[in-house]
Chains A and B, each alone.
Chain A
Amino acid sequence: MTDIMTPTLGESVSEATVARWTKKPGDAVKRDEVLVELETDKVSLEVSAPEDGVLASIDAEEGATVTAGQRLAVMSAGGAKAAAPAASPAPAKSAPPKATPAAAPAAGLAKPASDVLPPSVRRIVEESGLDPKAMSGHGKDGRITKGDALAALAARTATPAPAAAPAAPREVHAREERVPMTRLRQTIARRLKEAQANAAMLTTFNEVDMSAVMALRNRYKDAFEKRFGVRLGFMSFFVKACVHALREVPAVNAEIDGSDLIYKNHYDIGVAVGTERGLVVPVVRDCDALSLAGVEAAIAEMGKRARDGKLALEDLQGGTFTISNGGVYGSLMSTPILNAPQSGVLGMHKIADRPVVVDGQIVVRPMMYLALSYDHRVVDGQGAVTFLVKVKEVIEDPQRLLLEV
């Protein structure tokens, strides 16, 4: 018998809804065949059979809410169709295991076996609602011990609890309306508070003259679109400018893990996209290796999938830095909140014609305020300011991108 479990649902998603069973109990299934479709607020995902067999029973009916690690169904191996494989791997007559010396250490050691929890941890998890997957295991082969669970519990207690929930829901008056928060809204709320609670977050500002980029864009936008089939926007310039600046100030591209810092030598930049259901942040991978057209194409594709609700879980995970453009809604200035565990987020804003002084003359220029919110535990003030200056330099003089200066 094999238990079919709800997979890990993503960095911030703990629950999913069972959308559709593609198999009924008693059906024979082949390995990797889809059994069930799950939906979360952000993505939909499929759970496949881990081996050939027969779907024995279903624990979570369609419409049920399930959490990561919860059992969805039970499969029995073998069955009519799967009877054949049982015969083939009969253990060869116990020949002495002739391992070649210097063979690599047995595989499998590296992966922590955290799906089975010791009884003390099971109790703590049940009583506290902590997610065991978020705990770091210090037992044999990375298993979670009671000490690890107690540490996670202590860490949570140490962070100021978000104002204790009112004991009873408050009365709704005549001209009010009570609406339950969607799961996405709740997730956003919780994650934003977590970021504020954990990071030493503050914001630094600068402003950038958009004339050069706008001129460049006006001059080449038709040729660009004809050649690449995507529109040349400002976003690609900012993504490339950020890669340039992240290289200069690697701390902004790092994250804290316990008492260590993890520096990332890849530039996977999340671009916040507003959708009907809320804000999602799909990640554009390896931005350093993409051309401007590549970045524009990736953003366009992600945006379309976000609006169509077609984003896969992987699309939202593993970003190293985030860009949030409040300018599209007309924001003049804002302080974005970090996308944990990242250490930096760039806020772009509305381009407005403002009088500025250039070479002693007051002139009108299309200006944008830039904000960098950063985790002061990782990034020094000097680094943060330098980062914004680098972004500003590239945007005001895009030829720098060509020369990488």
Chain B
Amino acid sequence: MADYDVVIIGGGPGGYNAAIRAGQLGLKAACVEMRGTLGGTCLNVGCIPSKALLHASELYEMARKDFASLGIIAEAKLDLPAMMTQKGQSVDTLTKGIEFLFRKNKVDWIKGAGRLAGPGVVEVEGEGGVTTLKTKAVVLATGSEPSPLPGVEVDQGRIVDSTGALSLPEVPKRLVVIGAGVIGLELGSVWRRLGAEVTVVEFLDRITPSLDAETAKTLQRALTKQGMTFELGVKVTGAKVKKAGVTLSVEPAAGGEARTLEADYVLLAIGRRPVTRGLGLETVGVKTDARGFIETDHFATSAPGVYAIGDVTHGPMLAHKAEDEAVACIETLAGHAGHVNYGVIPNVIYTYPEVATVGATEEELKAQGIAYKSGKFPFTANSRAKVNHEAEGFVKVLADAATDRILGVHMIGPSVSEMIGEYCVAMEFGAASEDVARTCHPHPTRSEALRQAAMGVEGWTMQA
């Protein structure tokens, strides 16, 4: 029976970062992961492979549609198997990288399915039978999985979830995406660029519900212009799989006449749910809420010595949120002052144009009765975006009306995912919009739009 300071169940961004940090702080740590590779959903069947396909498909579409306008004559052809192979190679390199980091920080990777088996005991069911680990603390980082929809059974053949949609054997003629959230819009974009006719069906009357409304509307307009079709306020009631396709039954969410939609493939992407089945929570008394999320107070569950981080507990289901919680949780365990600032967790949608946001939306500020000022700058007025023929979108900065402290930033446009970090740092330090407005930015870059928008908060945007 091996003795550990901390055993982490789950090897995703929450789990592997917790394990590495534990190793760095001199704790004897083990990470239990049942998948054949480390990295969890994110690295294996989530963020990373989807970005590989988003990048490749964006270049493909650019070569076919935009090169001519830049004066380049080229003929682009799709080699789907090769595109999938390069995706797999990247994922492979990255998962191996985590194995290296484990060795470097003296973390044991215990392969198998972990479960709690009483206070301070974790059982791992692996290929060679059951191993029992004794530990002072357990961190649950088991993550999440796609939520099911009654009547639409995922078979990873014709009806796929996000995992299946990353490895379709062919480009569908017609792809129906159920759910206009981040995953549906990203993977829908991939297959539309590669040639599919994509229809997104959403129960609510808007896309990406938690997003700032103006930003969401702009995104929907951009995607529609690219050829994506939206069916909003529509409920999917059933799916019939045929030999070469799927017939979906749909009806207006508000009630009304039912009809059918035909598709070669259907992607179900209506959200994700926490994974807690078979974890042995009951053996130590870890409480979950009505939706199955583990309840925590500063990462501590209701059971002594058991902690939870990432998708399996409350908060946005984002890899970087899990990573922040991992660091804070382990530092707390090691006697340091671990802390996560939930007010400054950015969110990105990797469509084209990209969406990147941090902090409060206008709707949230209005609901909370907080007086704010807003500054907005369009990429059409940004020189770099203009010469790159990527002038869609804007940057919007929301700041407290009295103190000018930045409360939220919403960007849609080229490469905004790489630029939101600037505002994260600013907000982490309690910066005012004026602080960004008075900070020199390089010219000509898209980042100037961030500064111009900040200037706009106090009404002195200079370049629009």
| Residues of A that sit less than 8 Å from B by CB | 96-103, 105-106, 109, 118-120, 123, 138-140, 143, 145-147, 150-151
Given contacts A96-B23, A101-B5, contact A139 B430 (CB under 8 A): yes
A100 to B334, CA, bound (A): 8
Q: Quick one: closest B residue to A143, CB to CB?
A: B429
Give the complex CA separation of A139 and B431 in angstroms.
Answer: 8
A-binding segment of B24-32, B194-202, B250-258, B312-320: B24-32
Q: Flag if B429 contacts A140 (CB, 8 Å).
A: yes
Q: Please tell me if the beta carbons of B432 and A103 are within 8 angstroms of each other in the complex.
A: no
Structural contact, B402 and A147, CB atoms closer than 8 A: yes
Q: Which residues of B contact A119 (CB under 8 A)?
A: 434-435, 438-439
- Contact of A102 with B334 in the complex, beta carbons under 8 Å: yes
Question: Which of B335, B404, B435, B439 lies in contact with A101, CB distance below 8 A?
Answer: B335
* Cα distance, A103 to B334, chains bound together (Å): 8
The answer to whether A101 and B334 touch across the interface, beta carbons within 8 angstroms, is yes
Interface residues of B in 293-352 (CB under 8 A from A): 333-337
Inter-chain contact B404/A147, CB cutoff 8 Å? yes
Q: How far is the CA of A150 from the CA of B458 in the complex (A)?
A: 15
Q: A102 vs B330: C-alpha distance in the bound complex, in angstroms?
A: 11
A-B contact count (CB 8 A): 78
Contact B432 A120 (CB under 8 A): yes
Q: Is residue B428 contacting chain A, with contact meaning CB distance below 8 A?
A: yes
Q: Is the CB of A150 within 8 A of B26?
A: no
Residue pair A101, B434 in contact (C-beta under 8 Å) = no
The 5 closest A-B pairs by CB, nearest first: A147-B403, A102-B335, A146-B432, A119-B438, A139-B430
- Decide if A147 touches B400 in the complex (CB within 8 Å): yes
Minimal beta-carbon separation of B27 from chain A (angstroms)? 6
- Residue-wise, chain B 74-111 has the 8 Å CB interface mask toward A (1 for contact) of 00000000000000000000000000000011100000
Binary interface encoding of chain B residues 398-419 relative to chain A, with 1 for a CB under 8 A from any of its CBs, else 0: 0010111100000000000000
Q: Which residue of B lies closest to A147 (CB)?
A: B403
Within B366-390, which residues are at the interface with A (CB < 8 Å)? none
A101 to B29 Cα, complex, angstroms: 13
| Contact of A146 with B24 in the complex, beta carbons under 8 Å | no
Chain B contact residue count (CB 8 A cutoff):
28
Minimal Cβ-Cβ distance residue in A for B338:
A105
On chain B, the residues within 8 Å of A120 by CB distance are 404, 431-432, 434-435, 438
A-B CB contact pairs (8 Å), 30 listed:
A96-B23, A96-B24, A97-B24, A99-B334, A100-B26, A101-B25, A101-B26, A101-B333, A103-B335, A105-B336, A109-B337, A118-B429, A119-B434, A119-B438, A119-B439, A120-B431, A120-B432, A120-B434, A120-B438, A123-B438, A138-B430, A140-B430, A143-B429, A145-B403, A146-B431, A146-B432, A146-B435, A147-B405, A147-B432, A150-B402
B404, A146: Cβ atoms under 8 Å? yes
Measured CA separation A138–B25 after assembly (Å):
30
**Residues of chain B contacted by A143 (CB below 8 angstroms):** 429-430
Nearest Cβ distance between residue B458 and chain A, in whole angstroms?
Answer: 10
Question: In whole Å, how far is B416's beta carbon from the nearest beta carbon of chain A?
Answer: 23
Contact across chains for A146 and B405 when beta carbons are under 8 A apart: yes
Taking A118-B435, A120-B404, A147-B432 as known contacts, 6 extra A-B pairs with beta carbons closer than 8 A to each other, sorted by chain A number, are: A98-B26, A99-B26, A101-B5, A139-B431, A145-B405, A145-B430
- Are the C-beta atoms of B26 and A145 separated by less than 8 Å? no
Q: Chain A residue with minimal CB distance to B400?
A: A147
Q: List, in ascending order, chain B residues with CB within 8 A of A100's CB.
A: 26
A223 to chain B, nearest CB (A): 59
| Whole-angstrom distance between the Cβ of B24 and the nearest chain A Cβ | 6
Interface string of B2-42 (1 = CB under 8 A from A): 00010000000000000000011111000000000000000
* Most chain B CB inside 10 Å of its own CB: which residue of A102, A103, A145, A146: A146
Q: Which residue of B lies closest to A146 (CB)?
A: B432
Give the residue among B27, B105, B335 with the most A Cβ atoms within 10 A: B335
Chain A contacts of B27 at CB under 8 A? 101
Which residue on chain A has the smallest CB distance to residue B426? A118
Residue of B nearest to A120 (CB): B434
**A99: which B residues are within 8 A, CB to CB?**
24-26, 334
* B335, closest chain A residue (CB): A102
Please determine whether B428 and A140 come into contact, CB atoms closer than 8 angstroms.
yes
Q: Which residues of A contact B403 (CB under 8 A)?
A: 145-147, 150-151
B427: nearest residue on chain A (CB-CB)? A140
With a cutoff of 8 Å between Cβ atoms, the chain B residues found around residue A151 in the complex are: 403
A119 vs B104: C-alpha distance when bound (angstroms): 42
